[in-house]
């Protein structure tokens, strides 16, 4: 038997095609249809190779980028221009070769610039992030709204690119547990709690172990039940 290959694809036709081709060439292909099953199957069969669709349900990803200077951002009527452009891979390779330093980790100054959240309804998401939480609605893109504070292009983006009216994630599902928003002042925590209570937003203060350093923080849930930690951290 040839090498073991795990094929992760949510399109049934593509999944069958890949597996049939691999099996015909002497490989042992194992088909799975989502990220949750892929992790379980990978532990089970220890594949030599994993072939995965770049856009899969039940998985999160990290987008690595560098921000352009705010002087280059284009604004009109309170909205920032959002574009999707192809990556200049050749120029990127030239820059990495010119530096001549082997990459082995992200720089210590790396930070989370923004998060993209898959939501079931853009209108409900806008009500929470813009009208209740008070973030500025900075851009609209097909199937997505972008929100930010302090005239940034976006700190939070909500999208329905994987479908609308999805079922909210359960506690044991693979995916984002929570993300954090750092408030400017400690007193803002109490003000925000009171503000949320006016809109019947569910909150709780039972910290998970990794968040114990922020003893005065609390959690709230957006319109899709996505958990957000609100804290004040001077560092």
At residue 136 the predicted structure's pLDDT band, cuts being 50, 70 and 90, is: very high
For residues 45 and 30, is the Cβ–Cβ distance under 8 A?
A: yes
CATH number of 4-52: 3.40.50.2300
The superfamily (CATH) of domain 84-231 is: 2,3-Dihydroxybiphenyl 1,2-Dioxygenase, domain 1 (3.10.180.10)
What does the mean pLDDT of the chain come to?
83
Residue with the two structure tokens 């597996």: 19
Range scoring the smallest mean pLDDT among 4-8, 47-51, 79-83 = 79-83
What pTM did the predictor assign?
0.69
Q: Report the pLDDT averaged over residues 217-221.
A: 91
Residue 154: what pLDDT?
Answer: 92
Q: 75-99: per-residue pLDDT in tens?
A: 998 898 887 777 676 776 676 666 6
At residue 65 the predicted structure's pLDDT band, cuts being 50, 70 and 90, is: low
Residue boundaries of the structural domains of the chain: 4-52, 84-231
Q: Where are the beta strands (DSSP E) in the chain?
A: 4-8, 28-32, 49-52, 75-76, 79-80, 115-118, 136-141, 144-148, 156-159, 178-182, 203-204, 218-221, 227-231
Measured over the CA atoms of residue 123, residue 128, residue 132 and residue 138, the dihedral's sign is negative
Within 10 angstroms of residue 194's Cβ, the number of other Cβ atoms is: 9
> How far is Cα of residue 168 from the mean position of the Cα atoms in its chain?
15
Residue 200: what pLDDT?
Answer: 93
CA atoms within a 13 Å half-sphere pointing along the CA-CB vector of 19: 15
Whole-number percent of the chain with pLDDT over 70:
80
Residue with the two structure tokens 């008070």: 134
Is there a common fold for 4-52 and 84-231? no
Helices then strands, each counted (H, E), the chain: 5, 13
Between these two residues, 173 and 177, which has the higher pLDDT value?
A: 177
Residue 98: what pLDDT?
Answer: 63
Residue 119, burial from CB neighbour count under 10 angstroms (0-12, 13-18, 19+): buried
Q: 9-40: per-residue pLDDT in tens?
A: 888 898 999 999 999 999 999 999 877 788 78
């Amino acid at each position: 038997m040839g090498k073991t290959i795990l094929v992760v694809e949510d399109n049934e036709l593509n999944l069958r095609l890949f597996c049939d081709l691999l099996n015909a060439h002497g490989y042992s292909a194992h088909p799975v249809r989502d990220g949750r099953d892929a992790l379980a199957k990978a532990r089970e069969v220890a594949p030599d190779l994993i072939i995965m669709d770049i856009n899969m349900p039940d998985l999160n990803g990290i987008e690595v980028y560098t921000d352009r200077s705010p002087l280059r951002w284009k604004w009109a009527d309170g909205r920032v221009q959002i574009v999707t452009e192809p990556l200049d891979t050749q120029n990127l390779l030239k820059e990495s070769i010119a530096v001549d330093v082997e990459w082995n980790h992200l720089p210590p100054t790396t930070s989370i610039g923004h998060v993209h959240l898959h939501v079931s309804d853009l209108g409900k998401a806008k009500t929470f992030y813009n009208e209740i939480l008070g973030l500025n609605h900075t851009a609209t893109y097909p199937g997505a709204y972008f929100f930010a504070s302090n005239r940034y292009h976006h700190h939070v983006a909500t999208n329905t690119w994987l479908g609308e009216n999805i079922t909210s994630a359960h506690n044991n599902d693979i995916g984002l547990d929570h993300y954090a928003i750092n408030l400017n002042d400690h007193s803002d925590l109490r003000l925000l709690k009171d503000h949320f209570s006016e809109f019947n937003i569910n909150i709780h203060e039972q910290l998970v172990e990794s968040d114990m350093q922020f003893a005065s923080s609390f959690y709230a849930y957006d319109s899709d039940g996505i958990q957000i930690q609100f804290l004040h951290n001077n560092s």
